[in-house]
Amino acid sequence: MLNHRDFVWQCDYGDRQSTLEVLKELLDSQNSYQLGMCTLFVNNNVYQLEFFVVLGYEEPEDFQIESMKEKLSSIGARLRADITFSQMIELSLRKRFNSVEVPSSEEMDDLANVAFQFHDRAFVSSRIPMGPIGSDLPVFLSHSSKDKPFVEELMPYLNRHGLAIWYDKINISYGESIVKAVMNGIDDSGAVIFFITKNFLSSKWCEEEMESFLSRVSEGDKILPISVVFPDVKHSDLPRFIRNKKYLRLEKEVTPSLVANELIPTFREFFEL
């Protein structure tokens, strides 16, 4: 389970052929021990047409993850770390989605034809002239912008275990007030991970986020605060709130997968997953 991770992608129902072709390429180039799951989730409700793809990786090479992200992003697919595979399954059971697991590229077209009830945009436009799921209680990732690479690599490991994420880069839309969006994210989250680095401690923005969560704790809100302390921070440099609670101390060369496996049992107990 150490390297297992999920990626939930929101795709274009009407322009799905480009997505299906990318998925075929991935299935052909990555074996079942690497890309262990490719599942299509299709909502054929004419008032809310939706198309999601969940890719589950087990023992991938790092370059395969990067290749997958690049290929899907290049065709306009949107990575949704705020949605988990378990949420998609639950919505399928409630009839929102048809779900189809695709074992190989050869079966992609036939299975897609079963899943989708309406033709794609290209087919329709050739004949007729033509002109978010998220979690109620996500885990808020409080971090310095300088530490984003580590945080972003950790997210799919948390998603794999049913944890939805609140992450500024994903949950704040262009043109939206950043301050208002972050404050709403803090209010709506069920847990927070503070990524304590020297960058974090020197950031006024991170300090504001921590104080806002402390206010929720002091007011008696049910929220789980977890601190991950990086090797460049001494115990004596930590804020009193952090020092007085058990935190995860990272050693040099630690990986996001190890961090996830350390934290998951605590989240499972708290959220009763």
Q: Which band of pLDDT confidence, cut at 50, 70 and 90, is reported for residue 171?
A: confident
Q: Tens digit of pLDDT for each residue in 252-263?
A: 888 999 999 999
pTM, two decimal places: 0.67
Helices (H) then strands (E): counts for the chain: 12, 10
> Is 5-125's fold the same as 139-271's?
no
Q: What angle do CA 216, 222, 225 make, to 5 degrees?
A: 70
Question: Would you tell me how many other CB atoms lie within 10 Å of the CB of residue 7?
Answer: 22
Decide yes or no: CATH 3.40.50.10140 for domain 139-271: yes
Residue 23 has pLDDT above 60, yes or no: yes
Q: Where are the domains of the chain?
A: 5-125, 139-271
Q: For residue 224, give the 3-state DSSP assignment.
A: strand
Q: Which band of pLDDT confidence, cut at 50, 70 and 90, is reported for residue 175?
A: confident
Nearest to 75 by CA among 13, 123, 12: 12
Instruction: Pull the structure tokens for residue 196.
Output: 């304590």
What pLDDT sits at residue 253?
A: 80
Residue 134 has pLDDT above 60, yes or no: no
Do β-strands 248-249 and 35-43 pair in parallel, antiparallel, or remain unpaired?
Answer: unpaired
Report the C-alpha gap between 233 and 117 in whole angstroms. 55
Nearest to 217 by CA among 135, 132, 133, 140: 140
* Mean pLDDT on 202-220: 92
Decide yes or no: CATH 3.30.750 for domain 5-125: no
Report the C-alpha gap between 25 and 27 in whole angstroms. 6
Residue 36 has pLDDT above 60, yes or no: yes
Give backbone dihedrals phi and psi of 37, rounded to 5 degrees, phi first: -150, 135
| Cα-based torsion angle of the residue sequence 9, 76, 48, 88 in order, rounded to the nearest 10 degrees | 0
The share of the chain scoring above pLDDT 90, in percent, equals 72
Burial class (CB in 10 A: 0-12, 13-18, 19+), 40: buried
Q: What angle do CA 223, 155, 12 make, to 5 degrees?
A: 115
Residue 4 has pLDDT above 90, yes or no: no
Instruction: Pull the structure tokens for residue 152.
Output: 């972003």
Give backbone dihedrals phi and psi of 259, rounded to 5 degrees, phi first: -60, -45
Instruction: Pull the structure tokens for residue 26.
Output: 């991935």
Question: Would you tell me how many other CB atoms lie within 10 Å of the CB of residue 25?
Answer: 14
Q: For residue 197, give the 3-state DSSP assignment.
A: coil
Nearest to 170 by CA among 102, 81, 47: 81
Residue 268 has pLDDT above 80, yes or no: yes
User: In which residue are the tokens 């310095």 written?
Assistant: 144
Q: Tens digit of pLDDT for each residue in 63-112?
A: 999 999 999 999 999 999 999 999 999 999 999 999 999 999 999 999 99
Q: For residue 248, give the 3-state DSSP assignment.
A: strand
